[in-house]
C-alpha cells in the first residue's frame, strides 16, 4: 500500500499570503496524484489531477507540481474561502486507492 504523508499538519497564514502544501509518497506514483479541498460540512472537491492539471472551474491561484514521490500544492495568494483542509490522493499502485491525512489551512 502506498502511504501518502502530508506536511505540515496545520498551516497558519493570512489572506494574500502564499501557501505551500507538501505530499510525499512512500513509493513512486509517477504523476498520478490528485489534490482535494474540503470545507466543514462538505464533501471533498477535486482541485488538481495528474499532479499539475486544474480541474474544471478551479481558480488559477491553485497550482500543483511534482512527480515520483514529492508533490506540492501552491495557492499563490490566499482568499478567505481557501481556508480549509487539503488532501492528496493516489491511484497508481492499487488497490487500495489512498489519501494523505490532510493539511489544515488556518487563519493566522
Partner 1 sequence: QVQLQESGPGLVKPSETLSLTCTVSGASVSGGSYYWSWIRQTPGKGLEWIAYLYYTGSTTYNPSVKSRVTISLDMSKNQFSLTLSSVIAADTALYYCARGNLALRAFDVWGPGTMVAVSS
Residue 19 vs 88, nearer CB to partner 1: 88
By the rule CB under 8 A, 43 interacts with partner 1: yes
**In contact, 78 and 15? CB cutoff 8 Å:** yes
In a 10 Å sphere around its CB, with 0-12 CB exposed, 13-18 middle and 19+ buried, how is residue 60 labelled? exposed
Q: How far is the CB of 80 from partner 1 (least distance, A)?
A: 23
Residue 47 vs 78, nearer CB to partner 1: 47
Q: How far is the CB of 7 from partner 1 (least distance, A)?
A: 14
CA-nearest of 26, 19, 21, 27 to 6 is 21
Measure the CA–CA gap between 58 and 42, rounded to whole angstroms.
17
Contacts to partner 1 by CB under 8 A: 1, 32, 34, 36, 42-46, 49-50, 53, 55-56, 87, 89, 91-92, 94-102
Amino acid at each position: 500500500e502506498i502511504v501518502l504523508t502530508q506536511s505540515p499538519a496545520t498551516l497558519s497564514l493570512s489572506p494574500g499570503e502564499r501557501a505551500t502544501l507538501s505530499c510525499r509518497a512512500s513509493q513512486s506514483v509517477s504523476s498520478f496524484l490528485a489534490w482535494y479541498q474540503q470545507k466543514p460540512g462538505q464533501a471533498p472537491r477535486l482541485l488538481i489531477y495528474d499532479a499539475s492539471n486544474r480541474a474544471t472551474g478551479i481558480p488559477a491561484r491553485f497550482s500543483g507540481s511534482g512527480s515520483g514521490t514529492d508533490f506540492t500544492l501552491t495557492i499563490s495568494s490566499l482568499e478567505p474561502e481557501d481556508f480549509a483542509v487539503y488532501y492528496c490522493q493516489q491511484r497508481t499502485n492499487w488497490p487500495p486507492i489512498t489519501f494523505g491525512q490532510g493539511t489544515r489551512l488556518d487563519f493566522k
